[in-house]
Amino acid sequence: MSDVNGVNQNIFDKINTQNQTKSTQSSSTSQSQEDSDMFMRLMIAQLQNQDPTSPADTNDFMQQIATMSQVESINNLTQTVQSTSQSMLASQAALQASSMVGQSVYIAGDTAEVGTVVNPYAKGSFNLDSSASEVRIKVYNSSGSLVDTMQLGAVSQGEHEFAWQMKFDEDGNPEQPAGDYTFVVERMDDGEYNAIDTNMAYRVNSVTLGENGIGMQVNTTAGTYDVSEVKQIGA
C-alpha cells in the first residue's frame, strides 16, 4: 500500500502548483503584450513627430524593429513551452489516474458496505501515535446494534490494517444481512477505552479529471471523493 502523499501524489502536486501560478503567468503574458503594444505606439509616434528636415536614421529604425521581433519571438516561445508543459502534466495525471481504477483507496470514515458481491468484506486502517496495551474494534449494523467485537490485543505504534467479514452459520448462510456496518476502533488508555480515527477502504470504479487534470476525483463504491481526501492507496 502506498501513501498518496508520496510517489503517486507527485504529479498531482506538480499540476496544482502550475494551476496556482497560472494567474501569475497570465499576468506576465498580458504585461509582455502591453509592453509590445507600447513599443509599437512609441515607434509610430516617433515617425509621426520626427523632423522632416532630419528624419530618423534608417539603420536605427530597422534595429528597433529587429529588437521588437526578438522580444515577440521570446514571448511566443515561452507561452509554447508553458502550454506544452501543462499538456504533458495533464496527460501524465490521466495515466496515473487510470492506474488507480480497481484499487482500494482509504478515506477517513468508519462505515462500509459488507456482504455484497462487490464488497464481501470490509477493510480499514488506523494509526496509533503510541503503542497501546489493548485495541479492539466494535462492529455495529445499520440499526446501531453491536454485532461483533474484534480483540486485537497489544498493538505497536504506527499504521495498522484490519479486515472484517460477517460470520456464517452451519449451513453456510451469513448470520447478518448485507448492508452498511460501522467500525469503531478503540484503544486502552489508563484503564479506559478511547475511540481513535479510522480510515475505510473503498474500491475505485473510475476517476474523473478536471480541466487540465486539475481537481481529480475518485469514484468509489461508497461515493465520489476528491483526491485530496485519499489517505492511502492499496491493492
pLDDT of residue 122: 93
Q: Which residue, among 95, 100, 82, has the nearest Cα to 19 in the 3D structure?
A: 82
Q: Give the chain's length.
A: 235
State pTM to two decimals: 0.59
- pLDDT of amino acid 112: 94
The per-residue pLDDT for 91 is 55
The whole-number pLDDT of residue 145 equals 95
Unique residue bearing C-alpha cell 509616434: 45
Give the model's pLDDT for residue 71: 67
Q: In a structure prediction context, what are the per-residue pLDDT tens digits for the chain, which is 235 residues long? A: 555 544 444 555 554 555 555 545 555 556 666 666 766 676 677 666 666 666 656 666 667 666 766 766 777 777 776 666 555 555 565 666 677 888 889 999 999 999 887 788 899 999 999 999 999 999 999 999 999 999 999 999 999 999 999 888 888 788 889 999 999 999 999 899 999 999 999 999 988 877 655 677 889 988 999 888 988 887 6
pLDDT value at position 28? Answer: 52
Sign of the Cα torsion 75, 76, 81, 84 reads positive
Position 41 scores a pLDDT of: 74
- pLDDT value of position 126: 96
Got the DSSP string for 1-48?
-EETTSHHHHHHHHHHHHHHTHHHHHHHHHHHHHHHHHHHHHHHHHHH
